[in-house]
Homo-oligomer: A and B are copies of this chain.
Amino acid sequence: MIGIGVIGYGYWGPNLVRNLAETPDAKVIAVSDLSQERLAQAESRHPTICATTDCRDLFTNPAIDAIVVATPVSTHYELAMQALQSGKHVLVEKPLTSTLDQGLRLLDEARRRNLVLMVDHTFIYTGAVRKIREIVQSGALGPIYYYDSVRINLGLFQRDINVLWDLAVHDLAIMDYVLDARPHAVSATGIAHINENEDVAYLTCLMEDRTIAHIHVSWLAPVKVRRTLIGGGQQMIVYDDLEPSEKVKVYDRGVTVSESESDNVYQMLVGYRTGDMWAPKLSTTEALQNEARHFVQCVAQNQQPDTDGDAGLRVVRILEAADLSLKQKGLPIELNWERMPV
């Protein structure tokens, strides 16, 4: 039985607690939050849980094996580090930290103490993304041409981060998992309209092998869109997360270049190789449930999580470079993964 403590019962915390509470071989022992009101909520929903305003009570509680950090990003490093130093395994809400340096320290600490450090890249635990990885890794798409994602709506503004750190983090995590992509350069543009944080932003990642990735995120769109295109030489995927049932569609479409005789001075025709489209059946288990079980299992058996500290760090690294570019109107920032500590 793994004892769990959760720090932060705001927007996301309640979902984590609910799912962890229903996870076999795990028990949510304590929840901490600065707001008495939210703590009262937690208690009414989970009478057996001990609620406190002082997270240190969790660090010192011997019944607690693992700590979940569900607080604003700016506090992730401090809280996760204290948890590790208290000998607790840690699951941190996305993004892992506010800076690459902070992330490196967390990884180092976790390694030295042989503790599990996992980041809450929720989408990795959805049936849709699992299926997409399966298809991409099978090679069915052929060479990957592009990854293009739009993640916009009239959304919750974050106080301490911009829209890239809030929304693009999802796509960077998915790309990392699906494509094993390591961009060698990023270029980002965006504007802040409402407060000091960019609320509309665009991020391009350039990979080897002529693969380009682009992410459009916004808190200011009149309509909600959650659509990702992954284009390959043989097949192409459309992943629409708002579709009730067919979230993933695989198009047997490719391009075959041909010279059109009659038009030869004018253009080269792309032969549309359009075959069937199919939408594979997807597992419908709630992502957070899968993630909770995975975390508990990794702690119990001391395994490496699918979304480990390294994965969280790779995403933070790209976000940090993206911010640099953002401040300079899209100036390309190079990334050298060989020279990266991890």
A170 to B112, CA, bound (A): 57
A7 to chain B, nearest CB (A): 12
Contacts of A193 in B (CB 8 A): 145, 210, 233
Contacts of A158 in B (CB 8 A): 267-268
Contact across chains for A270 and B222 when beta carbons are under 8 A apart: no
A246 to B275, CA, bound (A): 10
Contact across chains for A156 and B35 when beta carbons are under 8 A apart: no
Task: Determine if A325 is an interface residue (Cβ-Cβ < 8 Å).
Answer: yes
Contacts of A246 in B (CB 8 A): 277
Contact across chains for B10 and A159 when beta carbons are under 8 A apart: no
Contact across chains for A210 and B191 when beta carbons are under 8 A apart: yes
Contacts of A157 in B (CB 8 A): 257, 267-270
A7 to B164, CA, bound (A): 49
Contact across chains for A278 and B278 when beta carbons are under 8 A apart: yes
Q: In the complex this chain forms, how many copies of it are found?
A: 4
Looking at the complex, which one of B191, B255, B267 makes contact with A212 (CB distance below 8 Å)? B191
Contact across chains for B270 and A194 when beta carbons are under 8 A apart: yes
A interface, over-half SS = strand
Interface string of A46-87 (1 = CB under 8 A from B): 010000000000000000000000001000000000000000
Known: A157-B257, A206-B329. 17 other contacts (CB 8 A): A34-B265, A38-B262, A145-B191, A145-B200, A148-B216, A154-B274, A156-B270, A159-B266, A194-B257, A194-B270, A200-B212, A202-B214, A219-B270, A222-B236, A242-B244, A330-B330, A330-B332
Interface set of A (CB-CB < 8 Å, partner B): 10-11, 34-35, 37-38, 47, 72, 145-146, 148, 150, 154-159, 185, 187, 189-195, 200, 202, 204, 206, 210-212, 214, 216, 218-224, 229, 231, 233, 236-238, 242, 244-246, 251-253, 255, 257, 262-263, 265-270, 272, 274-281, 325, 328-332
